[in-house]
Amino acid sequence: MTYEHLSQTTATGRQLCDELWCVTMVVVSDDPAFLAAFAESSFKSHLLLVQKTKLLVFTRIPLLQLQTLPNLHRTLSRTTSLVAVVDDTLPVFRTKVFSWLPFTDPESRPLQVASWTNDQRLTFTHPPDLFPQKFLRFPHQPHVLVTAEEFVSQPAIIVVDPMAPGGKRLAFGGAAGNIMEMLSTIMNFTYTYVRSPDRTWGLLQSDGTWTGMMGLITREEVEFTPGPVFMDITRSQWTDFSPFVFIGKYLILANRGRPEVDPWGFLLPFTPKVWVAVMTALLAVCIVMLLLPFCLPIHIPSMKDTNTFNCVRVLFQEGN
């Protein structure tokens, strides 16, 4: 019953996070089995995927016991979450608030960010931010695995590196390579590229699994990809997208076909009003051509023999 209700609760929470985008969740439990089940369920359902979704756990379980719970360290270290350990066995009620840092060992002690007692109330042991920005820069330099694929503006490059296995390592040019270099310097980490077996961006299969780069990310074989990855609804349900790095414009091209000459094509643009105007103008010109010779002197006989059908010839652009 607990697992069934927990699955329904995490599904509802995921829907709420997708709709509101910024949610703070609170979990209260003194049962180690429940916390371990919640960590596994939230991880599988991607409940805490979006970094703006915050998790706060209240428990009386000692810190040393919490560190041994399966999947709890993985969930807490990769999400924006805090654990408040309550100790009510002492005369003074005390609560310590911890944050699990990313890319740390499960046995390592988490960072204490605050404490609360009846006398001193809330006291910060870290800069005054209950949810510290632990993803901005890592205190130690972890080594992470990332994935990328070739693109028109992103070629794969083999770089000579004496420190890499075999003396060579895979790199990518273009915007992705520049982004990775800047991120590794600013956030203090090293990285290695891993390519998917099928060399694709990734498609969702009928059994709920992904291929390509998306498969590596959802199976946690790599940490992230610098892209470029096209954002759509399906992918956003399984991964967390960063703000736009660049926006590309793509066009659909088609064959224009061979030009066909229609001798009567000049008549197609003419509407009934245009035809009436042309016929009226043609009739007026013919009348003027008929009447004009009678108004000329007798010594210009050539003008009197003007053929009125010349007006029609000129209209149809015909020669003599």
Q: Are residues 230 and 296 in the same domain?
A: no
Question: Residues 6 or more apart from 61 whose CB is under 8 A from it?
Answer: 30, 32, 35, 85
The residue out of 124, 152, 176 marking a domain boundary is 124
In degrees, rounded to 5, the angle at the alpha carbon of residue 25 between the alpha carbons of residues 136 and 14 is 90
**For the segment 134-177, what is each residue's pLDDT rounded down to a tens digit?**
888 888 899 999 999 888 788 888 888 887 777 888 888 888 88
Which amino acid is residue 68, in one-letter code? T
Q: What is the DSSP string of 136-168?
A: S--SS--EEEE----BTTB-EEEEE-TTSGGGE
Residue 205 lies in a domain: yes
Question: In the chain, how many domains are there?
Answer: 3
Residue 20 domain-assigned (yes or no): yes
**Residue 137 forms part of a structural domain:** no
- What's the pLDDT tens digit per position in 262-281? 777 767 777 888 888 888 98
Instruction: With cut-offs at 50, 70 and 90, classify the pLDDT of residue 302.
Output: low
250 belongs to a structural domain: no
pLDDT, tens only, 12-23: 777 776 676 677
Question: Among 124, 151, 169, which residue terminates a domain?
Answer: 124
Q: What is the mean pLDDT of the chain?
A: 81
* Closest-CA residue to 144 (of 221, 223, 48): 223
Identify the weakest region by mean pLDDT among 42-51, 66-75, 91-100, 237-246.
42-51
Q: Please indicate, yes or no, if residue 130 is contained in any of the structural domains.
A: no
Q: Sorting pLDDT into bands at 50, 70 and 90, what band is 60?
A: very high
Residues 119 and 151 in one domain: no
The reply to whether 147 and 96 lie within a common domain is no
Residue 70 and residue 10 in one domain:
yes
Q: Is the pLDDT of residue 33 over 80?
A: yes
From 183, 218, 236, give the residue that closes a domain: 236
Pair 69, 150 in one domain: no
Instruction: Indicate the pLDDT class of residue 47, thresholds 50, 70 and 90.
Output: low
- Does any domain span residue 39? yes
Q: What is the CATH number of the domain that holds 179?
A: 3.40.190.10
Is the pLDDT reported for residue 282 higher than 90? no
Decide if 220 is inside a domain.
yes
Domain-located, residue 94: yes
Contact (CB, 8 A) for 216 and 194: yes
For residues 300 and 147, the model is more confident at 147
Pair (114, 148) in one structural domain: no
Per-residue pLDDT band at 57 (split at 50, 70, 90)? very high
Indicate the pLDDT class of residue 58, thresholds 50, 70 and 90: very high
Q: Are residues 194 and 116 in the same domain?
A: no
What is d(CA 17, CA 56) in angstroms, rounded to the nearest whole number?
15
Which domain does 282 fall in, by range? 265-315
pLDDT at 48: 62
Residues 120 and 149 in one domain: no
Domain co-membership, 169 together with 210 = yes
* Same-domain check for residues 105 and 57: yes
| Same domain? 120 vs 156 | no
179 and 231 in a single domain? The answer is yes
